[in-house]
Structure formats: C-alpha cells, structure tokens
Amino acid sequence: MTEHDYDLLPSLIGYNLRQAQTAVFQDFSESLKDCNITPGQFGVLVLIAANTGLNQTSLGNALGIDRSTVVAVIDKLEGRGLVERSPAPKDRRSYALRLSEQGAELLQRARGLVADHEKRIAGDLQPTEQHQLIALLSRLRGK
C-alpha cells in the first residue's frame, strides 16, 4: 500500500480529535457488545440513574441534544425495557424518566465494561497523563 502525505493534518487538534474519537468509539462498541449499548446510550442511562425523575427536555439539555432527538433515544431504551416513562407528579405534560430494574442491572454491568474499556484505550498513559488529557479536553470546550 502506498504511503500518504498527510500534510498539516497531524498538526491539527481537530484532526487528531476526530481520529481519536473514531478509535475510541470503535473500542467502546466492541467492549460493550455484551450490553449492546452505544456511548450515547450509556450517557443517557448514567444520567437517568443519577437524576431519577428528570424529564426528556432536561435530559436533552444535559447532553446537548434536541428534545426531538431524545424521543427516539428513549423509545429505543424503553422498547428494550431499560427505561420507564412514568407520569410526572407535578406536570402532566412531561414524563419522569427512571431506570427499570433491568436497566439498573444492565447499567451496573456496563459500568464494569466501560471501566475496562477506559483502561484499554488509555493503557499507554500514566494516570497523570490521563488527568492531563481530560483537563486539556475540557478546556477545549471552553468551560
């Protein structure tokens, strides 16, 4: 196979970010194929578990996705019996989201697999370097 000249691409933060994200996403999918969930779905489950009763709009805001997008995400998780839409006590327009028992079990299992996955992708990096990376990444988004 021919060698390629990548020019300035390897010097760009954006390019390296994309490459890293692709690789990490792929490893995530393989690591969690037992649970069959995506990084996005894992985030949703974690957020619902940690904020039981939040509604869909609120969940979308927390994750930076539109509320119309949340519908399909929750539809899928509800269809698998992992998440429940229960009536919100104080506002009949909205649902209070919560994990089912099965959802809680799956999340527990997923946490272990995610921990393994994180170890694998960061296996090269010292703990100090991992913290550095996270700190640098979070400064990238401006906060």
Which residues sit at the interface with DNA, rule CB under 7 A?
38, 40-41, 55-58, 64-74, 85, 88, 91-95
Confirm or reject binding of residue 122 to a second copy (CB under 8 A): yes
Residue 12 exposure: Cα atoms within 13 Å on the Cβ side = 9
Q: How far is Cα 28 from Cα 30, in angstroms, rounded to an integer?
A: 5
Cβ partners under 8 Å of residue 25, min gap 6: 39
> Among a second copy, DNA, none, what binds residue 104 when CB lies within 5 to 8 Å by partner kind?
none
Contacting range for a second copy; rule: CB under 8 A; set: 23-31, 71-79, 88-96, 98-106: 23-31
Confirm or reject binding of residue 88 to a second copy (CB under 8 A): no
Give the containing element (helix H, strand E) for 131.
helix 127-140
Give the containing element (helix H, strand E) for 99.
strand 95-99
Which chain residues interact with a second copy by CB under 8 A?
1-2, 4-25, 28, 39, 43, 46-47, 49-51, 54, 58, 61-62, 64, 111, 114, 117-118, 121-122, 124-125, 129-130, 132-134, 136-142
